[in-house]
Structure 1
Amino acid sequence: MAKSAGDRDRSTSQGRRGEPTAPAAPTRRSWKEMWPFLVALGIIVVVALGIGISYLIRPADDRMNTEAHIQHAVNDAYTARNELDYAAYRGAMCAAELGSDTFPDEATFVDDNRISFEENGQIVIPEIADITVTGDRATAQVHWHFDEKPDQEQVTNVVVVREDGDWKVCTS
């Protein structure tokens, strides 16, 4: 006579005499079986530490590409205007710009930007695009608007030049 599925299940859980058997005791694994996993974990930790140390040793400026340096230079100039920080503004501008007759003195810079800030709010730069680098000279399109007039976005072509290893904003 054929056994049903239920009968088969019962027969496998019983001993020879039809008595239920105790579940099998779990086998203990040896530390030797875990050795490959421990080695892999050790390698991962060493690699992660190497990457972390290299980031601590190398300055952030060294890790940035040229386009990122240019974006930072443009952003520094606009941020200085927002913060009425004349020293930072001068630091973001090229030597030709600083030597120009039209470059503002501190009082003019602060007054002009304070008036603009009171009327329009801060300058917001949602995007710096179309960066083209030719040697130590680059151009970028700066998309900007005032925070109180977001619907009046403007695009300004900005020239950035490398002087003594740093990128600086220049009008020409």
Structure 2
Amino acid sequence: MAKRAGDQDRSESGGPSDGQATPAPTWKAAWPFLVALGVVAIAAIGIGISYLIRPADDRMSTEAHIQHAVNDAYTARNELDYTRYREATCAAELASDTFPDKDTFVEQNRVSFEENGQIVIPEIADITVNGDRATAQVHWHFDETPDSEQVTDVVVVREDGDWKVCTS
């Protein structure tokens, strides 16, 4: 039998050479993919439920808690928020004679803000944790003087499960 142009012998195309059609795929062939998809879906649902049930604070590392405590203290100064500042400060500091009252706190920080702008913290580094006590180096500067960055060693202590800024 002569071949026409464009015709191809089945054996050359990789298909069966006896003219039989390739069988249609069955559900059995898809089974491994369906199982893998089910495992991935169950894992994703489990992670989602874990994030919904477990509070964000519980998922944060100790270093992140310390960074938040330092940030809260400086943010309270920027916002002249005495209540928030007290909440971010350790009990020993609150009980000291040198801890400012509300009027003094607001006045000192208002003057600083008017002269220098807000406090900006680009980095909190070198966090060292020793039980319920930690130290961190806070790199900061004022809005008005970004080139005069300062580094302050800050002590942070854990009280009743929360990290608080302390002077010693």
After TM superposition, the score normalised by the length of structure 2 is 0.85
| Letter of the 2:46 counterpart | G
1:114 partnered with 2:137: no
Unmatched 5+ stretches in structure 1: 1-6, 15-24
Q: Which residue of 2 aligns with 1:150?
A: 146
What is aligned with 2:93? Answer: 97
Q: Could you tell me how far apart the structure 2 residues matched to 1:168 and 1:67 are? A: 13
Please tell me the root mean square deviation across aligned C-alpha atoms, in Å: 2.1
User: Structure 2: which amino acid aligns with 1:70?
Assistant: I
Q: Secondary structure at the match of 2:52?
A: helix
Matches within 5 A, 1:59-138: 59-138=55-134
Q: State the identity %.
A: 77
Could you tell me how far apart the structure 2 residues matched to 1:72 and 1:151 are? Answer: 24
Aligned partner of residue 124 in structure 2, secondary structure: strand
Stretches of structure 2 lacking an aligned partner (at least 5 in a row): 11-20
Cα distance between partner residues in 2 of 1:10 and 1:66: 72
Q: Point out the structure with max Rg over C-alpha.
A: 1
Once the two structures are TM-superposed, the CA of residue 30 in structure 1 deviates from its matched residue by: 2.5
TM-score by length of 1: 0.83
Q: Given residue 159 of structure 1, which amino acid in structure 2 is its aligned partner? A: V
CA distance in 2, matches of 1:113, 1:74: 17
Q: Aligned letter for 2:114?
A: E
